[in-house]
Chain A
């Protein structure tokens, strides 16, 4: 009897720890709301502008973090997303610019395709390095990070490639059913990634790969092909991030993804992934991205200099790791 009670107690704490990121998100939203009510007599949560700003910032983080989640679950990392997104951004802007001032939907679609293809090439190279040449993903993708960065800057001539195109502007700043298009894009991609990771054989193999690569190999799965696909997915979602950036700001920027890399990695780990692989969910990453976006926007809302967001997000990352570790301690370690 005692044994049963203790088990229930443990699993309660466990589910609390699993849900901590949700609780944390609610907590910081509550904090900023209380701050707004008491200090300025206004509201934080119930203003469309605030919600939209948070949602768009979260979307931009998410687009880099979605494919990355799959890579991290498989026990790898992809640092090159910072510049596969930048490369896509520059390529898209260059194609649209080449299309002339009144470039139509066709050119915009072609530009999007070219940008995503450029990002996919980075993904294929990453996968080839990791799967065929057995280069550790941290080093391999750090290499392609540099190559993609250089390639993007060379193509852009070291400057921002500004464009003037109504269609692109509309896509980046318009709304669909009242929701900003970047948010809708990120959410649709999140749903697809969730389906792939949670409900497909590919997803099951991804988890198994993170826990014990030998188990997947022995089960007859083509591990090399699987790794290449993971890195291509990661590069493609990052490329979508570059696409949304270009459309939002009517500019292709090689460095557009760089400041988001840290936040994207943080979102995945805040969302419950583990550095050793085998753990993590898309829903967790979505919450992680929103936690960071709320902190970013909330601190500025409170009138603090924007630099405080680095401190705050850094602290949240450390808390996330501590929670992850205590989870292992309670469950009894990951054998």
Chain B
């Protein structure tokens, strides 16, 4: 498979503590790679080095063959890697359209002054959400009136709308109820169908097995192993997370 993202020999040292050592993996287009691991295993540190929040002590990150290491989080986003955080980074009091365009709002001129083009932004939001299989009940309503799954979909819609090639999702189902977790899983499959690569961080085993094309298990900052879901089981993954097996 061709490579969308390549992570090579990532290492991160905080003071005398080596949080991540020699992490290497790839993500292909339309592929979902799960980073699994217990708390403190280094999952968050790895994705922060990919998204530009942390600079690695050693190692490189490539997107479509271009070196990303050393770029700012903004530049990494522009290059096509969108990170969806647990807190969703949505403004609850704004409608889906404004959330989709937050920071890049569209305006039209009236009486020589720029006015927010709410209608176009709303229509675009409805459109992108539809491509994710989600019907927005009331496009003019603030997103706080939507379900957790629908809100998650807006965050994902933002990534699609701005043409991210790779989406990083940090525990996307952690704060959701069971039906909404299913919605998010369905969203991941639709994203994959669009050719978007996904790095999913999770320690929820059913989610891991439902979403992953490959599972990379981190334990104490190193890759404890890499498996395809079909060739492993819950028990082995848990053992690897605990650092028992290589």
Residues of A within 8 A of B (CB): 195, 199-201, 203-205, 207-208, 210-212, 214-216, 218-221, 278-279, 331-332, 334-335
Within 65-86 of B, Cβ neighbours of A (below 8 Å) are at: 74, 85
User: What's the Cα separation between A205 and B99 when bound, in Å?
Assistant: 10
Within 97-152 of B, Cβ neighbours of A (below 8 Å) are at: 98-99, 102-105, 107, 113-116, 144-145
Do A208 and B116 contact each other (CB < 8 Å), given the known contacts A215-B89, A334-B144?
no
B87 contacts partner chain A, Cβ-Cβ < 8 Å: yes
User: What's the Cα separation between A279 and B113 when bound, in Å?
Assistant: 24
The 5 closest A-B pairs by CB, nearest first: A219-B103, A208-B91, A219-B102, A278-B93, A211-B93
Please determine whether A212 and B113 come into contact, CB atoms closer than 8 angstroms.
no
Please determine whether B116 and A219 come into contact, CB atoms closer than 8 angstroms.
no
Q: Of B94, B104, B113, B145, which one neighbours A331 at CB under 8 angstroms?
A: B145
Q: Which A-chain residue is minimally distant from B91 (CB atoms)?
A: A208
User: What's the Cα separation between A331 and B103 when bound, in Å?
Assistant: 27
Q: Which of B85, B102, B113, B114 neighbours the largest number of chain A CB atoms within 10 Å of its CB?
A: B102
Q: Which residues of B contact A215 (CB under 8 A)?
A: 89-91, 99, 102
Cβ distance B172 to chain A, nearest Cβ, rounded Å:
16
User: What's the Cα separation between A215 and B107 when bound, in Å?
Assistant: 20
Cβ distance A13 to chain B, nearest Cβ, rounded Å:
15
Please determine whether A214 and B87 come into contact, CB atoms closer than 8 angstroms.
yes
In the complex, the number of residue pairs spanning A and B with C-beta atoms less than 8 Å apart equals 69
* 4 new A-B contacts at CB < 8 Å, known A199-B116, A215-B102, A218-B89: A207-B93, A211-B94, A219-B104, A335-B92
Please determine whether A208 and B114 come into contact, CB atoms closer than 8 angstroms.
no
Please determine whether A199 and B103 come into contact, CB atoms closer than 8 angstroms.
no
Cβ distance B112 to chain A, nearest Cβ, rounded Å:
12
Cβ distance A35 to chain B, nearest Cβ, rounded Å:
40
Q: Which A-chain residue is minimally distant from B78 (CB atoms)?
A: A220
Q: Which B-chain residue is minimally distant from A209 (CB atoms)?
A: B91
What are 29 A-B residue pairs whose CB atoms fall within 8 Å in the complex? A195-B113, A199-B116, A200-B107, A201-B107, A204-B94, A204-B98, A204-B105, A205-B103, A207-B91, A208-B98, A208-B102, A210-B93, A212-B89, A212-B92, A214-B87, A216-B102, A216-B103, A218-B89, A218-B103, A219-B102, A220-B104, A221-B103, A278-B92, A278-B93, A331-B145, A332-B145, A334-B92, A334-B93, A335-B92
User: What's the Cα separation between A218 and B145 when bound, in Å?
Assistant: 22
Q: Which B-chain residue is minimally distant from A199 (CB atoms)?
A: B115
Q: Which residues of B contact A195 (CB under 8 A)?
A: 113
User: What's the Cα separation between A218 and B85 when bound, in Å?
Assistant: 10
Q: Which of B87, B91, B102, B104 neighbours the largest number of chain A CB atoms within 10 Å of its CB?
A: B91
Please determine whether B90 and A212 come into contact, CB atoms closer than 8 angstroms.
yes
Task: Bin chain B's interface residue count.
Answer: 20 to 34
Please determine whether B87 and A212 come into contact, CB atoms closer than 8 angstroms.
yes
Q: Which residues of B contact A214 (CB under 8 A)?
A: 87, 89
Q: Which residues of A contact B89 (CB under 8 A)?
A: 212, 214-215, 218-219
Residues of B within 8 A of A (CB): 74, 85, 87, 89-94, 98-99, 102-105, 107, 113-116, 144-145
User: What's the Cα separation between A311 and B99 when bound, in Å?
Assistant: 42
Q: Which A-chain residue is minimally distant from B105 (CB atoms)?
A: A201
Q: Which of A201, A203, A216, A331 neighbours the largest number of chain B CB atoms within 10 Å of its CB?
A: A201
Q: Which residues of A contact B116 (CB under 8 A)?
A: 199-201, 203-204
Q: Of A203, A220, A334, A335, which one neighbours B103 at CB under 8 angstroms?
A: A220
Cβ distance B202 to chain A, nearest Cβ, rounded Å:
22
Please determine whether B114 and A335 come into contact, CB atoms closer than 8 angstroms.
no
Cβ distance A60 to chain B, nearest Cβ, rounded Å:
28
Please determine whether A216 and B91 come into contact, CB atoms closer than 8 angstroms.
yes
Cβ distance A55 to chain B, nearest Cβ, rounded Å:
26
Cβ distance B45 to chain A, nearest Cβ, rounded Å:
19
Q: Which residues of A contact B87 (CB under 8 A)?
A: 212, 214
User: What's the Cα separation between A335 and B175 when bound, in Å?
Assistant: 12
Q: Which residues of B contact A218 (CB under 8 A)?
A: 85, 89, 103
User: What's the Cα separation between A211 and B143 when bound, in Å?
Assistant: 11
Q: Which B-chain residue is minimally distant from A213 (CB atoms)?
A: B91
Cβ distance A324 to chain B, nearest Cβ, rounded Å:
14
User: What's the Cα separation between A212 and B89 when bound, in Å?
Assistant: 7
Q: Which residues of B contact A331 (CB under 8 A)?
A: 145
User: What's the Cα separation between A203 and B94 when bound, in Å?
Assistant: 11
User: What's the Cα separation between A210 and B92 when bound, in Å?
Assistant: 10
Cβ distance B174 to chain A, nearest Cβ, rounded Å:
15
Q: Which residues of B contact A219 (CB under 8 A)?
A: 89, 102-104
